[in-house]
Structure 1
């Protein structure tokens, strides 16, 4: 039995993992899928980057003693990667699902053209609103799946996107799996690619889009199960 703490990316709450969690629980695993501060049912909680790191660490603490696999999707790779360092010996493995990887002193928005996102945050009172349905095109999602995502997506607290990551060491020193969703591009981001070259990380490719918990939940659960087995 493996214990997972799984965190979804921007605009999403713990509900995004429902299908994946069901598959993992059917295999006998324990799954926690916390909703980060400022999102979904916790939309009234102020949040910056450090808040989200503490959210993940607190969820691990609630599990008590024993090892855990941390899973971060998209944006959530940034706080999950920092939390992985903080939980120390309790970490079994980190799985980055088409995710950003934290870099000390850099934010989620560092390293890619972000002026449009920053402007959107400023124009919407400090939050990043969910994208229109067209932004999900070409990612292996059905119209029903896109509608389901947008029906529950909530604005993302902007301070979590612009605040810097704080690391004592390198994420490359921790055992990790990087899941690259090929419909969202063939290559991992540069920070992930550098760690993959270091030998402690493994790369898994899957022929689906950026939201595999919706488009391929059973396949993603299998990948998570197999990654934990190699921890």
Structure 2
């Protein structure tokens, strides 16, 4: 049995992992979906990026987990990658699911054309509003899946996107798997390229879109199981 702490990306909470965690538990694993501060049922709590890092570390410590697999999807790869470094020998593996990865001194919005996002945050009182239904099109989702995403999403605290990551060592020192969802593009972010090319991280692809916990939950759960087993 492996314990998984799973964290969804921007706008989402623990609820997004319902189908994946059911599969993991059916396979005998511990599955602990985490809502980050300022989102979903924790909406209203103040949050910066380091708040989100602490959310993950505190959850591991609160549950007394060891030999844990941390899973970060999309935005949450940034705080999850930092938390993976901070939990030390409690970590078994970190899995980045079509995710951004942290770079010391850089924010989630660094390194890509993010001016529209920054303007949107400024225009919405410091929050990044979730997309409408058409923002989820072309990602292998059913109409029901899109409706669930639209209905469950909450505005994302902007400070978590603009504050810099803090790392004390090279990211490729972490045991990691990177899952690239091909409907969202063929290439992982540049910060993931070096550890993937060097062979220190395991690459996995999924023929689906950016939200595989909705479009391919059973396949994603199988990938997480295999990553924990080192396969």
* TM-score, L = length of structure 2: 0.99
- Contact 2:3/2:65 (<8 A) preserved: no
Deviation at 1:122, TM superposition (A): 0.5
How many Å separate the matches in 1 of 2:171 and 2:32?
A: 22
Length, aligned pairs only: 231
Deviations 1:89-119 (A, max 9, x none): 0000000000000000000000110110000
> Equivalent residue for 1:4?
4
Partner of 2:34: helix, strand, or coil?
Answer: coil
Q: Find the aligned partners of 1:174 and 1:218 in 2 and give their Cα distance.
A: 26
Structure 2 counterpart of 1:163: 163
Counterpart of 1:36?
36
Cα offset, 1:65, TM superposition: 4.7
Q: Which portions of structure 1, spanning 4 or more consecutive aligned residues, are displaced by more than 3 angstroms?
A: none
8 A Cα contact 2:7 2:34, kept in partner: yes
Q: Which moved more, 1:59-68 or 1:9-18?
A: 59-68
DSSP-derived class of the 1:220 partner: helix
User: Over the residues paired in the alignment, what is the CA RMSD in angstroms?
Assistant: 0.8
Whole-Å Cα distance in 2 between the matches of residues 66 and 113 of structure 1? 38
* CA–CA separation in structure 1 for the residues paired with 2:30 and 2:52: 22
**CA displacement 1:142-170 (0-9 Å, x = unmatched):** 11110111101000000000000000001
Q: Distance in 1 between matches of 2:177 and 2:215?
A: 20
Name structure 2 gaps, 5 residues minimum.
none
Unaligned stretches of 5+ residues in structure 1: none
Partner of 2:116: 116
Rounded to whole Å, the distance in 1 between the matches of 2:202 and 2:66 is 23
Distance, in Å, in 1 between the alignment partners of 2:230 and 2:62 is 25
Tell me which residue corresponds to 2:142.
Answer: 142
Q: Distance in 2 between matches of 1:160 and 1:64?
A: 26
Specify the alignment match of 1:127 in structure 2: 127
Aligned match of 1:96:
96
Residue 53 of structure 1: aligned partner = 53
Alpha-carbon distance in 1 for matches of 2:120, 2:81:
26
